[in-house]
Amino acid sequence: DHRGGRHGDGDRRGAEWTAGKSTRRDERRDASARRAAAHAARDEWVFEGTGRAAEYVAGRRWEVAATGFWQAHRGAAQRYSDLVAEWSGLRPGGRAWDLYSGAGVFAARLAEQAGRTGAVLAVESARSAVADGAAALRDLPWVQLRTQRVERWLLEHLGAAAPDVVVLDPPRAGAGKEVVGAVTAGGPTRIIHVGCDPAAFARDLGLYQAAGYRLADLRAFDAFPATHHVECLALLER
């Protein structure tokens, strides 16, 4: 009957709402599990060789763990670091932040521009990458490499001396509102943002623009052939 029909519709809507809530809960749990797995210690076996890889960018040598992060395309690190150096506008004595710095490829180029009277602060959550970067950049004492989550590091540095330029190369999910808000609050003259996922990259660009920055230049590189990922670099200025 009519009443029974109404109850049936209500039951169906209730079931749909419950299913949707359950799906969102499952997605959050899966995301938390992925983050935990990414930072958990993992067993490694080396069957041949040292388990280390030598990489060169702008004449500087890095020795990194074979399981650590490095650009997938063999020419990417050099090309991106060249562009960062071109765009930074950093002068001797300048200050720069390199966020999600990995082994410090961008930090090295910024340090060469800033010189001994300058300062480059770099932060990365992976301890092994920071250790590899410290070894590669030991001749650049004005570079400070820190092992910490970027969000927490930014909270500690809000209100400190403003950097002239900030470089960010966040993971696939992008920087997000919290990080972009903290970076723009620092008031750098230039921001160089790197992203491999077009959707997350576009979202972050919108956040910068809402904070008063304009898109001054944009480059895209097909660094991941046969996938939807495109490595994009944006220069933002106030």
| Contact (Cβ atoms closer than 8 angstroms) between residue 207 and residue 177 | yes
Active site residue 196: yes
CA angle 159, 160, 165 (to 5 degrees): 105
Structure-token pair, residue 181: 């808000």
β-sheet with 143-147: strand ranges across? 143-147, 119-124, 95-99, 165-168, 190-195, 231-237, 214-221
| CA separation, residue 76 to residues 118, 205, 231, 235, 237 (Å) | 27, 22, 9, 18, 24
| Contact (Cβ atoms closer than 8 angstroms) between residue 167 and residue 96 | yes
| Contact (Cβ atoms closer than 8 angstroms) between residue 140 and residue 108 | yes
Beta carbons within 8 Å of 178's beta carbon, 6+ residues apart: 151
Catalytic residue, candidates 143, 196, 234, 235: 196
| CA separation, residue 26 to residues 15, 17, 30, 39, 155 (Å) | 16, 14, 6, 20, 30
| Alpha helices, DSSP H, located in 89-158 | 105-114, 127-136, 150-157
State which amino acid sits at residue 63: E
As annotated, the active-site residues are: 196
